A and B are shown apart, each in its own frame.
Chain A
Amino acid sequence: MTTKATHCLVRLYEEHHALEDYQGGVPRWCNGCGDNAILAAVQRLCRDEDLAPERTVFVSGIGCSSRFPHYMKTYGFHGIHGRALPVAQGIKMARPDLNVFVNTGDGDCCSIGAAHWIHAIRYNMNMTMILHDNHIYGLTKKQASPTSRLGTKSNTTPRGAYLEALNPLTVTLGVQNVSFVAQAVDWIPEMLYDIVSKAFHHKGFSFIRVVQRCPEFMPKEFEMWLNDTQKTQILTHDDGVRPSAAIGRLYRNQLEHDPLDIDRAREIASRDDPIPVGILYRNPAVPCYEDIRHEGLKERTPEMVRAGLEAEFDKFTVWPEGQEQAS
Chain B
Amino acid sequence: MEAIQQAQSVFHLTGRGPQPPLEAVNGRGLRPALLARYRDLGRLRYDFPLVLVDAGPGEPFAVPLTELVNDLVRRTVPEGPGGEAMRKHLLHVERHIRRAVAEGRRGRLSELWESAVAARGEDLAPELQELLRLAGSDLAADGELADCDESLPEALLAHAWRVVQREKLARAREDINRLIVRLSDILRADLIHSEEGRSADSLRAAVGTRQQGLFDFDTMAGLLSRGRARAGLGERRRERIESVLKVLRSQRFFPDPLARAGAPADVNPYEFRFDACRTVREVYAKRLPKMAALVRAMAIAELEVEGRYDESHHDAFFEAFDADAMSRQDLAIFPDYLVCLRGRARAEAADVNLMELLSSGIPVKVLVEVDDLLEEAAASEAHFAFGVRSVQLASLAMALNDAFVMQSASSNLPQLTGPLRKGLSTPAPALFSVYTATAAHSGDLPLYLVSAAAMQSRAFPAFTYDPSAGADMASRFSLEDNPQPLKDWPCATFEYADASLQRISRELAFTLADFVAADPRYAGHFARVPHPDWDDSQVPVADWLKRADSGEGDAPCVLAVDEDDVLHRLVVDEKLVEATRRCLENWHRLQEMGGVHNSHAEALLAEARAAWEEEKRREIDALTGASTAAGAAPPAPAEPAEAAEAPAAEPDPEEEPEPSPDEAWIETVRCSSCNECTQINSEMFAYNENQQAYIKDLRAGTYRQLVEAAESCQLSIIHPGKPWDSTEPGLEELVERAQPFI
A138 smallest CB distance to B (angstroms): 14
Say whether B670 contacts A188, CB under 8 Å.
Answer: yes
Q: Which of B31-39, B195-203, B295-303, B378-386 contacts A (4 or more CB under 8 A)?
A: B295-303
Q: Is B327 interfacial (CB-CB < 8 Å)?
A: yes
Say whether B676 contacts A31, CB under 8 Å.
Answer: yes
Say whether A36 contacts B673, CB under 8 Å.
Answer: yes
Q: Which of A171-179, A262-270, A294-302 contacts B (4 or more CB under 8 A)?
A: A294-302
Give A27 to B691 CA distance when docked, in angstroms.
13
Say whether B714 contacts A215, CB under 8 Å.
Answer: yes
Say whether B715 contacts A299, CB under 8 Å.
Answer: no
Q: Is B108 interfacial (CB-CB < 8 Å)?
A: no
Give A206 to B676 CA distance when docked, in angstroms.
31
Which one of B295, B690, B714 contacts A3 once the chains associate, using CB atoms below 8 Å? B295
B390 smallest CB distance to A (angstroms): 39
Q: Given contacts A5-B330, A215-B714, are A190 and B670 in contact (CB under 8 A)?
A: yes
Q: Is B321 interfacial (CB-CB < 8 Å)?
A: yes
Give A245 to B654 CA distance when docked, in angstroms.
7
Q: Is A33 interfacial (CB-CB < 8 Å)?
A: yes
Which one of B181, B325, B656, B671 contacts A5 once the chains associate, using CB atoms below 8 Å? B325
Give A212 to B177 CA distance when docked, in angstroms.
49
Give A307 to B177 CA distance when docked, in angstroms.
16
A47 smallest CB distance to B (angstroms): 8
Q: Which of B11-19, B225-233, B310-318, B609-617 contacts A (4 or more CB under 8 A)?
A: B310-318
A150 smallest CB distance to B (angstroms): 24
Q: Would you list which residues of chain A between 53 and 107 have a CB under 8 Å from chain B?
A: none
Most buried by A among B171, B174, B325, B691: B691
Say whether A298 contacts B689, CB under 8 Å.
Answer: no
Say whether A13 contacts B308, CB under 8 Å.
Answer: yes
Say whether A43 contacts B691, CB under 8 Å.
Answer: yes
**Within 8 Å CB of B325, what residues of A?**
5
Q: Is B739 interfacial (CB-CB < 8 Å)?
A: no
Give A4 to B329 CA distance when docked, in angstroms.
6
**Within 8 Å CB of A10, what residues of B?**
303, 306, 308
Q: Is A44 interfacial (CB-CB < 8 Å)?
A: yes
Q: Is A292 interfacial (CB-CB < 8 Å)?
A: no
Give A73 to B259 CA distance when docked, in angstroms.
46
**Within 8 Å CB of A246, what residues of B?**
656, 669
Say whether B673 contacts A1, CB under 8 Å.
Answer: no
Give A37 to B295 CA distance when docked, in angstroms.
48
- Residue on A with the closest CB to B310? A13
Q: Would you list which residues of chain A between 1 and 54 have a CB under 8 Å from chain B?
A: 1-6, 9-10, 12-13, 18-19, 27, 31-34, 36-37, 39-40, 43-44
Say whether B712 contacts A1, CB under 8 Å.
Answer: no
Say whether B674 contacts A31, CB under 8 Å.
Answer: yes
B709 smallest CB distance to A (angstroms): 11
Say whether B674 contacts A298, CB under 8 Å.
Answer: no
Say whether A301 contacts B333, CB under 8 Å.
Answer: no
| Majority secondary structure of chain A interface residues (helix, strand, loop or mixed) | helix
Give A31 to B713 CA distance when docked, in angstroms.
10
**Within 8 Å CB of A31, what residues of B?**
674-676, 679, 712
Contact with A along B179-214 (1 / 0, CB 8 A): 011001000000000000000000000000000000
Q: Is A247 interfacial (CB-CB < 8 Å)?
A: yes
**Within 8 Å CB of A39, what residues of B?**
673, 691
Q: Given contacts A10-B308, A215-B714, are A301 and B181 in contact (CB under 8 A)?
A: yes
Give A33 to B714 CA distance when docked, in angstroms.
10
Say whether A187 contacts B715, CB under 8 Å.
Answer: yes
Q: Is A189 interfacial (CB-CB < 8 Å)?
A: yes
Give A9 to B298 CA distance when docked, in angstroms.
13
Give A56 to B177 CA distance when docked, in angstroms.
26
A41 smallest CB distance to B (angstroms): 8
Say whether B313 contacts A13, CB under 8 Å.
Answer: yes
Say whether B313 contacts A12, CB under 8 Å.
Answer: yes
Q: Given contacts A226-B715, A300-B181, are A190 and B691 in contact (CB under 8 A)?
A: no
- Residue on B with the closest CB to A44? B690
Q: Would you list which residues of chain A between 254 and 302 have a CB under 8 Å from chain B?
A: 298-302
Q: Given contacts A13-B310, A32-B712, A32-B714, are A302 and B184 in contact (CB under 8 A)?
A: yes
Give A2 to B333 CA distance when docked, in angstroms.
10
Give A299 to B715 CA distance when docked, in angstroms.
53
Q: Given contacts A31-B676, A36-B674, A190-B670, are A3 and B333 in contact (CB under 8 A)?
A: yes
Q: Is B550 interfacial (CB-CB < 8 Å)?
A: no
**Within 8 Å CB of B671, what residues of A?**
189
Say whether A40 contacts B676, CB under 8 Å.
Answer: no
Which one of B181, B295, B299 contacts A299 once the chains associate, using CB atoms below 8 Å? B181
Q: Is A323 interfacial (CB-CB < 8 Å)?
A: no
Say whether A226 contacts B714, CB under 8 Å.
Answer: yes
A63 smallest CB distance to B (angstroms): 18
Q: Is A133 interfacial (CB-CB < 8 Å)?
A: no
Which one of A5, A9, A40, A245 contacts B692 once the chains associate, using CB atoms below 8 Å? A40
Give A3 to B258 CA distance when docked, in angstroms.
25
Q: Would you list which residues of chain B between 649 and 682 have a CB under 8 Å from chain A?
A: 654-656, 669-676, 679
**Within 8 Å CB of A43, what residues of B?**
691
Give A125 to B656 CA distance when docked, in angstroms.
43
B334 smallest CB distance to A (angstroms): 11
Most buried by B among A9, A12, A37: A9
Q: Given contacts A3-B329, A40-B673, A190-B669, are A301 and B302 in contact (CB under 8 A)?
A: no
Q: Given contacts A3-B302, A19-B691, A44-B691, are A32 and B656 in contact (CB under 8 A)?
A: no
Say whether B317 contacts A9, CB under 8 Å.
Answer: yes
Say whether A19 contacts B690, CB under 8 Å.
Answer: yes
A296 smallest CB distance to B (angstroms): 10
Give A309 to B327 CA distance when docked, in angstroms.
41
A192 smallest CB distance to B (angstroms): 8
Give A1 to B317 CA distance when docked, in angstroms.
20
Say whether B302 contacts A303, CB under 8 Å.
Answer: no
- Residue on A with the closest CB to B306? A10
Q: Would you list which residues of chain A between 206 and 258 have a CB under 8 Å from chain B?
A: 213, 215, 226, 244-247, 249-250
Q: Is B175 interfacial (CB-CB < 8 Å)?
A: yes
Q: Is B178 interfacial (CB-CB < 8 Å)?
A: yes
Q: Is A186 interfacial (CB-CB < 8 Å)?
A: yes
- Residue on B with the closest CB to A246? B669
**Within 8 Å CB of A32, what residues of B?**
674-676, 712, 714
Give A5 to B324 CA distance when docked, in angstroms.
12
Give A215 to B673 CA distance when docked, in angstroms.
14
Say whether B175 contacts A1, CB under 8 Å.
Answer: yes
Contact with A along B316-344 (1 / 0, CB 8 A): 01000100010101100100000000000
**Within 8 Å CB of A34, what residues of B?**
672, 674
Say whether B692 contacts A189, CB under 8 Å.
Answer: yes
Give A183 to B290 CA distance when docked, in angstroms.
56
**Within 8 Å CB of A1, what residues of B?**
171-172, 175, 333
- Residue on A with the closest CB to B257? A298
Say whether B177 contacts A6, CB under 8 Å.
Answer: no
Q: Is A112 interfacial (CB-CB < 8 Å)?
A: no
Q: Given contacts A298-B177, A301-B181, are A9 and B672 in contact (CB under 8 A)?
A: no
Say whether B174 contacts A213, CB under 8 Å.
Answer: no
**Within 8 Å CB of A4, what residues of B?**
327, 329-330
Most buried by A among B298, B655, B673: B673
Contact with A along B273-302 (1 / 0, CB 8 A): 000000000000000000000011011001
Contact with A along B701-734 (1 / 0, CB 8 A): 0000000000010111000000000000000000
**Within 8 Å CB of B172, what residues of A?**
1
Residues of chain B whose beta carbon lies under 8 Å from any beta carbon of chain A = 171-172, 174-175, 177-178, 180-181, 184, 258, 295-296, 298-299, 302-303, 306, 308, 310, 313-314, 317, 321, 325, 327, 329-330, 333, 654-656, 669-676, 679, 689-692, 712, 714-716
Closest 3 CB pairs of A and B: A37-B672, A40-B691, A40-B673
A–B Cβ pairs within 8 angstroms, 12 of them: A5-B317, A6-B298, A12-B313, A18-B689, A27-B675, A32-B712, A40-B673, A189-B669, A190-B670, A226-B716, A299-B178, A300-B181
Given contacts A3-B295, A40-B673, A188-B670, 9 further A-B contacts (CB under 8 A): A1-B172, A1-B175, A36-B674, A36-B675, A44-B691, A246-B669, A298-B177, A302-B181, A303-B258
